Amino acid sequence: MPRAKADFGTLHPCDFYTPDELLEEEQMYTVYEIARMLQGLEPEAEIDEETEAVLLDWAVPWVMNNSAELVVAEPPADTDPGYYGLKRGTDLADD
């Protein structure tokens, strides 16, 4: 159900990090690590599964919206997540 803006004490801008602001150029990250970093946490921070699910709701669209600036790598095993990083120079064989 929608609520009136007046019901909220403080409103904040809906700003997100750019890939350059969030990711280190020479590192690759899982979507779980990106989710933590988008909230100002360390990539390896311990969080409960419920919180992680909520954070993923923010991270997946962020990855999709910034896909032109990212590269993706195959996971080390079929049960592992893929890895994402900044797209730079000669990262891709077809560039």
* Each residue's pLDDT tens digit, 49-61: 999 999 999 899 9
Q: Is the pLDDT of residue 95 over 60?
A: no
Is the pTM for the entire model greater than 0.85?
no
Q: What is the structure's pLDDT at 4?
A: 95
Q: How far is Cα 80 from Cα 95, in angstroms, rounded to an integer?
A: 27
Q: How far is Cα 20 from Cα 57, in angstroms, rounded to an integer?
A: 21
Q: What is the structure's pLDDT at 12?
A: 87
Q: Are residues 10 and 68 in contact, defined by beta-carbon separation less than 8 angstroms?
A: no
